């Protein structure tokens, strides 16, 4: 396994809001308790500063939790790590095969069978045809969908779809695993199996980054915690320390 590494240098992420004129909302901007920083550029465009001058390094073996209020920038940061948003300023470097478990069922064709969707979705994951065909039976078995795997997925319930999507998305062990909220998939039985697989994946991966509001979940899994606030890193360090800081700030 390659020595995975994630690195951000002074990254700024800004979203220009099109179709809204600064004039119409300037009067309404007050200090908000949620969201990123809203500011106005020279030519009256409205800009949301989702991340501000964020620098960090994540090395192999680190399991990082992201915590913060709604709109603090957790999902944006995950997407930067996933390579979705190119930094407006600054740079991002990533080494290691990466799996983002954000939208599990993207690319599913309702009229194709479960088996066919495994092939299609597997290709979206970046696997070649031969590899997918080898993994296919294992995926079908893990999903416990039985005969349903041979019929179109538009006959599946939502829970069944998620099982299949989960089975496919977690069929390969990546070097870097990115998660936005812990996955709760399927009924109680399946959920236990899914948890085990997630923990296996995390154990096998070089790096985990997960955003969640639940300190309890992260307690089990993370060794480092980053606290984001309005696009800035407020705290970044060993899990216990930052957790104490975070709880202290929210007490009273």
Q: Give the residue among 27, 18, 50 at the shortest CA–CA distance from 37.
A: 50
- Verify binding: residue 95, other proteins, rule CB under 8 A: yes
> What is the C-alpha separation between 170 and 166, in angstroms, rounded?
6
Q: Which residue has the tokens 């969201």?
A: 35
Pick between residue 33 and residue 111 the one whose CB is nearest to other proteins.
111
User: Which of 42, 128, 187, 248 is the binder for other proteins (CB under 8 A)?
Assistant: 128
- Verify binding: residue 103, other proteins, rule CB under 8 A: yes
Binding mask 65-84 for other proteins (x = CB under 8 A): --------------x--xxx
Find the helix or strand (DSSP H, E) in which 21 lies: strand 5-21
User: Which of 51, 52, 65, 99 is the binder for other proteins (CB under 8 A)?
Assistant: 99
Helices 129-143 and 114-124: crossing angle, nearest 10°? 130
> What is the C-alpha separation between 152 and 111, in angstroms, rounded?
5
Whole-number minimum distance, CB 159 to other proteins, in Å?
20
- Verify binding: residue 107, other proteins, rule CB under 8 A: yes
Pick between residue 87 and residue 193 the one whose CB is nearest to other proteins.
87
DSSP for 183-205? ---SSHHHHHHHHHHHHHHHHHS
Residue 2, number of CB atoms within 10 A of its CB = 11
Whole-number minimum distance, CB 96 to other proteins, in Å?
6
Site for other proteins in 149-188 (CB under 8 A): 172, 174-175
Residues that bind other proteins (CB under 8 A): 2, 11-12, 15-16, 79, 82-100, 102-103, 106-107, 109, 111-112, 116, 120, 123-129, 172, 174-175
């Amino acid at each position: 396994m390659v020595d995975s590494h994630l690195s951000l240098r002074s990254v700024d992420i800004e979203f220009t809001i099109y179709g809204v004129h600064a004039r119409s909302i300037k009067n309404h901007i007050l200090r908000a308790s949620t969201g990123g920083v809203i500011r106005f550029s020279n030519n009256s465009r409205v800009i949301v500063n989702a991340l501000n001058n964020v620098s960090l390094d994540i090395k192999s073996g680190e399991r990082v939790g992201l915590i913060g209020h709604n709109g603090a920038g957790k999902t944006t940061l995950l997407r930067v790590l996933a390579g979705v948003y190119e930094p407006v300023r600054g740079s991002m470097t990533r080494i290691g095969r990466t799996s983002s478990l954000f939208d599990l069922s993207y690319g599913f064709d309702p009229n194709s069978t479960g088996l066919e969707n495994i092939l299609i979705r597997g290709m979206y994951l970046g696997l070649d045809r031969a590899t997918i065909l080898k993994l296919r039976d294992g995926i079908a078995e893990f999903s416990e969908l039985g005969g349903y795997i041979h019929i179109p997925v538009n006959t599946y319930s939502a829970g069944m779809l998620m099982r299949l999507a989960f089975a496919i998305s977690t069929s390969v062990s990546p070097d870097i695993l990115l998660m936005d909220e812990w996955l709760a998939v399927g009924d109680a039985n399946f959920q236990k199996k899914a948890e085990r697989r997630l923990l296996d994946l995390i154990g096998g991966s070089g790096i985990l980054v997960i955003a969640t509001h639940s300190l309890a979940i992260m307690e089990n899994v993370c060794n480092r915690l980053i606290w984001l606030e309005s696009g800035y890193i407020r705290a970044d360090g060993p899990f216990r320390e930052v957790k104490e800081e975070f709880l202290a700030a929210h007490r009273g």
